[in-house]
Amino acid sequence: MTPQIATVLIIIAVMTISFFTEILPLGFTALMVPVLLEGTGILNASQAWAGFSNTTVISWIGLFIIGAVFAKTSFTYRIKMFVKRNTNGNPVKVMVMILAACTIMGLMTTATSTIAALTPILFEICDETGLDRKRVFKSAADVSTWACVQMLPISSSLSYFLLFNQYLEGAGTDLRYGLLDMTWIKLPMWIVLVAYYIWASRKLRVDSHEISAAEAGSAGTDGTQKMTSYTPAQEKMAVFIFVTNVILMVVVSFTGTIPAYLVSTAFAALAVGLKLISQKDALNSVNWGTIFLIAGTLPLSTAINVSGTGEWIAGLMQGAFPNLSNPVVLATVFCVVCAITTQFMNNTAVWAIFAPIAASMAINLNMDPRLVVAGVACGALICFATPMAATAGGYVYGVCDFKMKEFVKLGWMPCVLMILAFVIWAPMVLNFIY
């Protein structure tokens, strides 16, 4: 272990302790991460503070503003009433509708864009039905995260299909994934995740006094629902901006013509320019705690790579399991290690570190590398236990005012279930395909 690796591990440990104990507000704890990474010389200034220029973080600012504009329309009220009429307030039916919408949008765009776009609608539904916001948003974020990568060969998932075949090629094998191989693995695992959250939704209701408070907060001063403060013309413009923004973000995600953040920020500026929201209200609508949380912790992935911490962890793993003869066991080991590592590290970085090692180990042990590398591919996306694991998780952590203990409590069981689902299902389907 080098001094740099030890330093990175200490920074991660201090950050984790601060998150759990809340010695500092979460945003300030996250802000200290780039300070420590630059101060200790692990990263230079541009690397340490790169999170604040990250395109995902920038797109959130626009999405927060657009969401605030859309929340002022009567459209959210109508959606809320539609859900109420068609579910009779049944939490299971409500959750089915929410998770279906998150899956469809997640397949077409990113998980974070999906949750950010649906935030005002989800708030209205939770307030009307009395469902726990934290549990609803956490469920939606996890399902969106799983759906948006590799579950179907569309949108950005096609690039991941090419990426993992590159890992196989780089390891020196002629074997390749078929276009639907990851779909056969991940779609049943999505069913497990959705089934778990639907089962858990039976206990989603909050206490009656909390429901009353939520209803009072969404009602007018005379006790009746205030649908909108916009004029009919403003209402149409606000809905147009919201709907067009969602459609264009899906289109650019498919085509890659322009960065998605340019769409959200342009429409946010348009909303302010049309006086649909004041500059002050627009800035106040941005959840800056969420922005600082994600922007501050994103450089950890770079630090883990630059310092050699990722390779050190991989080396420990390779030394601990040098002579495994069972590919299912080896794939499981990689799945578990990647699932743990990805809680503090970007999943793309986890793939970059562990996929080549998994492929090489499998080939050297005369195993089909596709199963073992699939353990890396799936393990890196079992990123539900901490808000640092996935940007969608970090987003809901901020907007729902989670505490770290609450987040981990809701996230650990889905992680375990998904690992078990992989161990049971992936070997069967790949043996059938190959």
What is the widest separation between alpha-carbon atoms in the chain? 74
Question: What is the mean pLDDT for each group of 10 consecutive residues in the chain (434 residues)?
Answer: 86 78 76 89 88 79 80 72 75 86 78 80 82 89 85 67 78 82 88 90 57 42 51 86 81 74 88 88 80 77 76 70 74 89 77 78 81 89 85 85 87 91 87 76
pLDDT in the model for residue 205: 62
Residue burial 330-357, b: 16+ Cβ < 10 Å; e: rest: bbbbbbbbbbbbbbbbbbebbbbbbbbb
How distant is the alpha carbon of residue 422 from its chain centre? Answer: 19
Per-residue confidence (pLDDT) for residue 389, from 0 to 100: 80
Q: What is the pTM of this model?
A: 0.70
d(CA 335, CA 231): 54
Residues 381, 146 contacting (CB under 8 angstroms):
yes
Q: What is the CA radius of gyration of the chain?
A: 22
DSSP code at position 276: S
pLDDT digit string, tens, across residues 294-326? 788 778 767 877 887 767 766 776 676 666 678
Q: How far apart are CA 86 and CA 68, in angstroms?
A: 26
Query: What pLDDT shows up at residue 359?
Result: 82
Query: DSSP for 151-206?
Result: SSSSTTHHHHHHHHHHHHHHTT------TTHHHHHHHHHHHHHHHHHHHHGGG-B-
Nearest residue to 370 (alpha-carbon basis) of 334, 318, 410, 414:
334
Q: What confidence score (pLDDT) does residue 213 get? A: 43
Half-sphere exposure of 83 (CA within 13 A, CB side): 27
Residue 225: strand pairing partners: 219
Question: What pLDDT, on a 0 to 100 scale, did the predictor assign at position 193?
Answer: 92
The pLDDT score that the predictor gives to residue 220 is 41
How far is the C-alpha of 58 from the C-alpha of 246, rounded, in Å? 16
CB-CB neighbours of 23 under 10 Å? 11
Please provide residue 89's backbone torsions phi and psi, each rounded to the nearest 5 degrees: 75, 5
